[in-house]
Structure 1
Amino acid sequence: MSDLRIRHASPADLHPVLAFWKEAAEGTSVSDDPDGVAALIDRDPEALLLAERDGELVGTVIAGFDGWRCHLYRLAVHPDHRRQGISGALLQAAEERFAALGGRRLDAMVLERNELAHHAWRGAGYAPQEQWRRWVKPLPR
């Protein structure tokens, strides 16, 4: 893993990240567009973490903190680079960020149908919270 580099995304990463998510992430979100990613980077420049190997984007995670709870979104690893410790390295970087910010509890958004992701999250020490069900409503644009 010594050739793996974790860094914060910059505005120049908008389009590469969106293209990466189309290939590597399960499903899409209403904010998966240049404006959504730009707003994230503008609001919290350290939230979107990128994993690169030899200059190639191989993984992402959004590590957001609202001052009360830590939230993980868009953990994705390119299919050709899975099972090489990339998601673990991204989660470690996210957890270090949260600890530095004073976070005490975190949650991760994981699609119910994404069984592969469930296995990865359990392997990283996370447990599903069956008593909670998310309710969502997109905001009008």
Structure 2
Amino acid sequence: MTDLRIRAAAPDDLDTVLAFWKVAAEGTSISDDREGVERLLARDPGALVLAETDGELVGTVIAGFDGWRCHLYRLAVHPDRRRLGIGSALLAAAEERFVRLGGRRGDAMVLQRNETAHHAWRAAGYAPEEKWRRWVKPLGNETA
């Protein structure tokens, strides 16, 4: 894909990103709202990575680094644009970001039921780590 542009999201992109996730992302997150994404950009300005073709948003990944670990979330490619290398380009950009920041290993949040995503993550060199299980607790008045 020669006209693919990869860039960090800006505050003006947030409404477009949130609408895109409703079409392209599997499942929802407790932080899938404007406030949540604004906090992400304020905390880690380069973390939300966008892929565009001719100015149209076609993919996203959150490549968050907390100084200790590299976390990948919200890898999403528009359903009409899958299998064109967009996800691979986003992951390559995320991994380059992590290396630049001193990261040593990326981990990804992948839904158990999303078999399509499992194939994509494996093709990119990622594998499930069966000895770990994610534990969560909603904070404040939020629900999971």
- Category of TM-score, reference length = shorter chain: over 0.9
Deviation for aligned residue 1:16: 0.5
Deviation for aligned residue 1:137: 1.4
Structure 1, unaligned runs of 5 or more: none
Aligned residue runs from structure 1 range 52-67, under 5 A = 52-67=52-67
- Name the Cα RMSD after superposition: 0.7
What TM-score do you get using the length of structure 1 for normalisation? 0.98
**Percent identity between the aligned chains?**
77
Corresponding residue for residue 124 of structure 1: 124
Report if the CA contact (8 A) 1:30-1:138 is conserved.
no
**Amino acid of the structure 2 residue aligned with 1:51:** A
Corresponding residue for residue 41 of structure 1: 41
**Amino acid of the structure 1 residue aligned with 2:130:** E
Moved over 4 A (4+): none
Corresponding residue for residue 102 of structure 1: 102
Report if the CA contact (8 A) 1:40-1:47 is conserved.
yes
Report if the CA contact (8 A) 1:63-1:94 is conserved.
yes
Deviation for aligned residue 1:120: 0.3
**Amino acid of the structure 2 residue aligned with 1:41:** L
Corresponding residue for residue 81 of structure 1: 81
Matches of 1:44 and 1:69, distance apart in 2: 13
Corresponding residue for residue 71 of structure 1: 71
What TM-score do you get using the length of structure 2 for normalisation? 0.96
